[in-house]
Structure 1
Amino acid sequence: MLDLIFSFFLTATLLFFFGGVSLLIYCTPVIITFSGVWRENTKAGSACIRWGPGTICINPGYNGLQAVFKIKRTELYQVPLQRPSGGDEVQAEIPTSSEEKESEQDLRRMIPFISLIKKIIPLIFAHIRIERITGSVRFGAGDPVSTGLVYGYYQALAPVCMFFCSAVLIPVFDQLTFEADLTGGFRIVYPVGLIVRSLRRLLPDILPFLTSGYLCSW
């Protein structure tokens, strides 16, 4: 009798534990934040992707772009993504005709996947929630008419986007310019659900490529 009760409680505990972990994984959103400055003499920015306690940030530094992996606020390690400009210059290789043909063939192979991307775009928008975007943008199209047209569109859309966007557009009518200082982000709610729904929608179209060996020809 005691063995039966122990087995029952052990099974219930395991089910409760794995069910809670599965629910936690399903409900944890992916939060993507960004900040950037784009000016004549200053171009800088960073982006972070956070899921639960783990965070990946891409930051510019003295040694070029760096991918920083963190748990909470504790930095684990860095991975260089791009070397800084300058130093030894490497002569660019001129592509041969065969390389150009291969690139054209690669582009043609990607054409069937465009329809697949169109199918998951509505799912992506259904799972995205935009966080508040703040900052300012100085914009000038080079002539007053085009700049005024863009500024008019901004004034028309500003009341609609005021719940998540408070960025200010400053028109410059007498010159061609673009300067921005923006901070914001968005979150993907139920990312696991997005992956499952995307696979369910795309698998019927991907299976013919798998069975025909189309992907193996890459």
Structure 2
Amino acid sequence: MDVLLLPALLLLCLLILILIPVIILYAIPVRSVLKFTTKDGTLRETVTVTWCLIGIEIAHDPVGTKAGVLVGSHILYTFFFDREHGPAPRAGEPETPVRLQAAQKKSIRLSYKLIQPLESLGSVLWQESRFEGATGRITLGLGDPAQTGLCYGYYWASRFVLEALRIHIEIEPVFDREVFSCDMDIRMSLRHPLRVIIAAVRLALNPAVRDVASVFRQRTPGAAAA
């Protein structure tokens, strides 16, 4: 009896180790916040995606782009991306019109095969996505007091409708000059990340995806010379 008990306990522990991540991935949503900040004609966008205590934050502004790995509310590590383009691709074998036409026809034919898998993934994303709300503050001046007042009146007329849709925006009118600045947060969530992961894996394993990837690799400059 003891001989059978040890394998049973090991199997139970293995099942628990497999089930716990599955349950967590199904039960705990992925939350994202898209933040727009505009001031003095400068736009800064920040996307923060979190799950449990881990996340990633990507920020872009005229200076460049950076990505940070989050643990809780603390940035553990930051990656910086240069604004400049990467190295110029190597010159490969020049494409003839016949080869280009054949490759384009093949790409179109394979793209049709991807429609159904992409629709399946898009359907899951639509079902699992939830708009949690948006908050923001806008400073608006159109340079014309009458037009600014008219725009501000439209805002007050639609304010209660927006709040019913969980969109809470405060507008500060400026009547003596032309100005625009905003600070806005848009919050979204994926209720069951596991369903999205399964749909994405199913799409990645689709033979049409591998065929399309193979076509694009062949058309990449320098592929023929490699």
1:167 to 166, 169, 191: 169
Runs of 4+ residues over 6 Å off in structure 1: 104-108, 140-147, 171-176
User: 1:188 — aligned with what?
Assistant: 190
Opposite residue 164 of structure 1, the aligned amino acid is R
> Structure 1: which 5+ runs fail to align?
85-97
**Aligned-partner SS, 2:8:** helix
What count of residue pairs does the alignment treat as equivalent?
198
* Alpha-carbon distance between aligned partners in 1 of 2:126 and 2:56, rounded to the nearest angstrom: 23
**What whole-Å deviation, never above 9, does each CA across 1:91-121 have from its counterpart, x for those lacking one?**
xxxxxxx99x9xx989995794795656644
Corresponding letter in the other structure for 1:183: D
2:42–2:62 Cα contact (<8 Å) kept: no
Q: Which amino acid aligns with 2:192?
A: Y
> Within 2, Cα distance between the matches of 1:38 and 1:170?
14
Amino acid at match of 1:185: R
| CA drift at 1:24 | 1.1
| Residue 3 of structure 1 pairs with residue 3 of structure 2 | yes
Conserved 8 A contact 1:147-1:172: no
TM-fit CA distance, 1:173: 8.4
Is contact 2:133-2:166 (8 Å) kept? yes
CA distance in 1 between counterparts of 2:104 and 2:160 reads 38
The AA in structure 2 aligned to 1:3 is V
Q: In structure 2, how many angstroms separate the alpha carbons of the residues matched to 1:140 and 1:119?
A: 45
- CA RMSD in angstroms comes to 4.5
Deviations 1:100-148 (A, max 9, x none): x9xx989995794795656644432221122232122345678868995
Further displaced range: 24-33 or 40-49 = 40-49
Question: Alpha-carbon deviation of 1:78?
Answer: 1.6
2:55 maps to amino acid: T
Can you list the C-alpha shifts for 1:19-64, whole angstroms capped at 9, x where unaligned?
A: 1222112323221113332122554342211122221112368963
Matched residues in 2 for 1:46 and 1:139: separation? Answer: 22
Q: Which runs of 5+ in 2 are unaligned?
A: 85-93, 217-226
Q: Which fold has the larger relative contact order, with Cα–Cα distance below 8 Å and residues 6 or more apart in sequence?
A: 2
Worse overlay, 11-20 or 57-66: 57-66
- Partners of 2:5 and 2:83 lie apart in 1 by 62
2:140–2:148: 8 Å Cα contact kept in structure 1? no
Amino acid at match of 2:128: H
Structure 1 pair 168/194, CA: closer, same or farther in 2 (3 Å)?
A: same
Check conservation: 1:151, 1:171, Cα contact below 8 A. Answer: no
Deviation at 1:12, TM superposition (A): 1.9
SS of the residue aligned with 1:133?
Answer: strand
What amino acid does structure 2 have at the position aligned with 1:123? V
Q: What per-residue deviation string (whole Å, max 9, x for no partner) do you get for residues 157-181 of structure 1?
A: 7426535221134567898754211
Aligned identity (percent) is 19
The equivalent of 1:46 in structure 2 is 46
Give the Cα–Cα distance (whole angstroms) in 2 for the partners of residues 3 and 191 of structure 1. Answer: 40
Normalising by structure 2, report the TM-score.
0.62
Are the counterparts in 2 of residues 139 and 170 from structure 1 also a CA contact under 8 Å? Answer: yes
Q: TM-score, normalised by structure 1?
A: 0.64
2-side partners of 1:197 and 1:154: how far apart? 42
Instruction: Measure, in 2, the Cα distance between the counterparts of 1:118 and 1:153.
Output: 37
1:56 and 2:56 equivalent?
yes
Distance 1:197 1:45, change over 3 A: closer
Offset of residue 80 of structure 1:
0.8
